[in-house]
């Protein structure tokens, strides 16, 4: 089962938890045990899994990513978002999360985040649910 | 088929090869051809694939990761493990390995490593085996 | 369905788009809806998804990766390719791309790249296509 959803980002760089979208897709798929793939069809955005309890965790990831790969540097790509492309490749375009008993199976502190590196924009996320019983 | 196993880490940062756990899960699943997913349900640990022949390879990965994302820096997350969260997102929470003829299919030099960034601790690894024949 | 293909790299570090290989494997598999896994069985190479329209994007990713993880540094692994191992773990050994209506489903600007970090060499890429209908 394939689903697409859209989201709007509000800053140049930002992490947005998408767990509720994923839970909804898994529920509507009816799959009890399997795998949920999350794929970001953009080249200046990514997806990652990390802590959602303390918002400072995400701020630290964004700040360190910016320090290592600054927006302004000697890049050749002239659209002003070369850093966003590099950040996207370092964080990655996809994640895999298990499904068990009809629910997304994440660790206690884990949340799935859409990673915006060249916003604000309208973005899409593609999801596929695969049965494995 | 889903399996969980536990492991104990002995240092703050450490890579532990988990190939033998994975081989055992694949064998007991009876799957001849398919995919094995490895998922780490923690936000200060990760999983990666790299060389296991020369232990210096892993030491170099750990040293460079520490140099780029030091334990002590101006982080906002006050639990003393902000670096571990960032490292986890850079290395990633999951890996996919193929299964062929009932065995894990890795390149000559490849090994799957559990990446501890905030140990020592008791940790878990989730594995799912998917048939594809 | 499992397939292997080979490619020759021409520089020490280089990104090569492999979309046409993947499209061919997906077509010959006959799978209409599912998932295509790309796995690199090497420890000094990787796979990533990014923009193929402006070749400067790839040049910027390679340049920043080299700046953060230089070929010459104080590494312990004495084969002269410690940096390539580290780069491989940061970019990752696998990618997942969806298949829909018998075609690889990538975003408008996305392309799948084989990432060479210790060439020139002959390399292999493993592909598995999984049906999900």
Which other chains touch chain C, taking contact as 3+ CB pairs less than 8 Å apart? A, B
Q: For the domain that residue B118 is a member of, what is the CATH number?
A: 2.60.120.460
Do C35 and C27 meet the contact criterion of CB atoms below 8 Å apart? Answer: no
- Residue among C33, C96, C130 whose CB faces A2 most closely: C33
pLDDT for res B89 = 98
pLDDT tens digits, residue range C30-79?
Answer: 999 999 999 999 999 999 999 999 999 999 999 999 999 999 999 999 99
For C29, the domain range is 2-131
Provide the strand spans (E) within chain B: 2-8, 14-17, 34-39, 45-51, 94-100, 103-105, 110-116, 122-131
Q: How many domains does chain C have?
A: 1
Is the confidence at residue C114, as pLDDT, over 90?
yes
Are the Cβ atoms of C96 and A92 closer than 8 angstroms? Answer: no
Residues in B touching C85 (Cβ below 8 Å)? 50-51, 57, 60-61
**Coil, strand or helix: which one is B80?**
coil
Closest chain A residue by Cα to residue C101:
A2
pLDDT tens digits, residue range B64-79?
Answer: 999 999 999 999 999 9
Report residue C59 CA to chain centroid gap: 15
Q: What is the mean pLDDT of residues C25-31?
A: 97
pLDDT tens digits, residue range B20-59?
Answer: 999 999 999 999 999 999 999 999 999 999 999 999 999 9
- The answer, yes or no, to whether ipTM is higher than 0.90 is yes
- Residue among A50, A56, A98 whose CB faces B39 most closely: A98
pTM of model > 0.80 = yes
pLDDT-derived band at B133 (thresholds 50, 70, 90) equals confident
Are the Cβ atoms of C93 and B95 closer than 8 angstroms? Answer: yes
pLDDT for res A105 = 98
Residues in A touching C38 (Cβ below 8 Å)? none
């Amino acid at each position: 089962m394939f689903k697409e959803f859209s989201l709007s980002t509000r800053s140049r760089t930002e992490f947005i938890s998408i767990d509720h979208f994923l839970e909804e897709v898994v529920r509507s798929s009816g799959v009890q045990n399997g795998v949920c793939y999350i794929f970001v069809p953009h080249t200046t955005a990514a997806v990652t899994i990390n802590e959602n309890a303390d918002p400072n965790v995400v701020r630290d990831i964004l700040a360190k990513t910016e320090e290592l790969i600054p927006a302004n540097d000697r890049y050749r790509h002239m659209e002003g978002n070369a850093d966003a492309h590099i950040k996207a490749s370092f964080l990655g375009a996809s994640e895999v999360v298990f499904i068990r008993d009809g629910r997304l199976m994440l660790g206690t502190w884990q949340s799935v985040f859409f990673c915006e590196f060249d916003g604000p924009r309208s973005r899409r996320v593609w999801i596929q649910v695969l049965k494995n019983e």
